[in-house]
Amino acid sequence: MQRVLSALSWRAWLTAGAMALAGCQGEAESPGQVSATPPLVETLRVASAEIAGTIRASGLVSHKRETALAFGAPGEIETLSVDEGDKVYAGQTLATLRKTTGGADAGESMLARQTAEQNFERITRLHANGAAAQVDLDNARLALERARERVAVTAPASGVVLKREAERGQMVSAGQPILWIGEARTGLIVQAQVTSAEVSRIKVGDTATVSIRERKPLAGKVARIAAKSSESTGAFEIEVLVDQADGLRSGEVAEVLIAGRDEATPMTPQFTVPALSLIDARADQGIVFVVDAAGRARQRAVETGGVSDRGVVILKGLAQGDRVITRGASMVRDGDPVRVAGE
């Protein structure tokens, strides 16, 4: 069973391999030289191989929704009742501004809050007696919430304090984040990266196992798969939602194991070639040369999918039985006649 390596590592391997190839072929003729005899090359006849087994990746733990909290007005922080790691509940007051400081803005905000509270109480009584419409009550409630946001910070949902960026007595401006909250209702996720060879074997909803060091493994499932690969690495980002996130903390590094595609599900045949066969490898693309029936080198653009223990995985561009040039590829051009070693 093959184990596919990360997209980050295989590109580095290809670069090192290309340098080694250049050193080994120092005595060969350059493309610009005219030779009386075709260059000697070595080839490998490719055969398909199905990549199977468990997909292993690592990534950072985070809350699916992380929210920055701030005051709606400038002023001096009077109370700040929570710290990093504290659990909070929806609607809990986490911080307030001092009434007597912060200039006119703070004073006006306090007055606006008192007015909104009084108005909401009045509309509530009228609504109970049938003297005020539901829309009037909704507008009064919204006005009260907005007034409170200017002079107090409340938790938008139950969760945990991820980061505290202010202290009591500190002067803050309107909109300046003072706390970061991870919402419990959205759960914890692990953001990891998989190769293009691996991403074709998983789907949203697949079961996964999440573990950190020697802790008890936790069950999860694939919640999202990026539609596009990273331009810099060629890897695809996935999100694994953890079912019961007991003991996990945002920012930790976790290992994710995803079962390979079921054996009953047919898999697309894939090929592997030595790393030195590729010319101009970039992210998930590359160039190889094959030898046709007439003994000439033919250039092929291929799509790669990482590296297995057999070589670079080729997803597209090759066919069963193609003779890929494994040595001497950098010394030929498309259409050049070649001599194949051993023939």
Tens-place pLDDT, residues 112-171: 666 766 776 777 887 788 877 888 777 777 766 666 655 788 888 898 999 999 999 999
94 part of a folded domain = yes
Query: 161 and 110 in one domain?
Result: yes
Residue 326 lies in a domain: yes
CATH number at residue 309: 2.40.420.20
Residue 273 token pair: 């070639």
More confident residue, 63 or 101: 63
Closest by Cα among 274, 319, 271, 272 to 298:
319
Mark whether 246 and 271 lie in a shared domain: no
Same domain, 230 and 335: no
- Per the domain annotation, does 107 fall within a domain? yes
Q: What percent of the chain has pLDDT over 70?
A: 73
In a domain, 286, yes or no: yes
> What is the pLDDT, as a whole number, of residue 281?
72
Buried b / exposed e over 184-194, threshold 16 CB at 10 Å, is beebbbbbbbb
- Nearest-angstrom CA–CA distance, 101 and 78: 10
Cβ distance 219 to 244 under 8 Å? yes
User: Where does a domain end: 225, 258, 291?
Assistant: 258
pLDDT band of residue 276 (cuts 50, 70, 90) is confident
- pLDDT by residue (tens digit) across 1-48? 444 444 445 455 555 554 444 444 444 444 445 456 899 999 999 876
Q: What is the value of pTM for the model shown?
A: 0.48
Query: Domain for residue 1, yes or no?
Result: no
Tell me what pLDDT residue 307 has: 62
Torsion angle in degrees (nearest 10) through CA of 132, 134, 135, 141: 90
Is 102 within the bounds of a domain?
Answer: yes
User: Of 305 and 197, which is predicted with more confidence?
Assistant: 197
Most confident of 22-26, 233-237, 282-286: 233-237
Number of domains in the chain: 3
Domain range spanning residue 152? 66-184
pLDDT recorded at residue 312: 78
60 and 153 assigned to the same domain: no
Residues 60 and 198 in one domain: yes
Q: Does 2 map to a domain?
A: no
Highest mean pLDDT among 175-184, 215-224, 277-286: 175-184
What CATH number corresponds to the domain at position 155? 2.40.50.100
Based on the fold, state whether residues 153 and 91 are members of the same structural domain. yes
> Residue 109's pLDDT band (boundaries 50, 70, 90)?
low
In angstroms, the CA 258 to CA 221 distance is 9
pLDDT score recorded for residue 23: 46
Q: Are residues 156 and 70 in the same domain?
A: yes
DSSP structure class, residue 50: -
Domain boundary among 150, 184, 218: 184
Looking at the structure, tell me whether residues 180 and 195 fall in a common domain: no
Residues 114 and 156 both lie in one domain = yes
> Hey, what amino acid is at 309?
D
Residue-level pLDDT at 41: 93
For residue 296, is it within any domain? yes
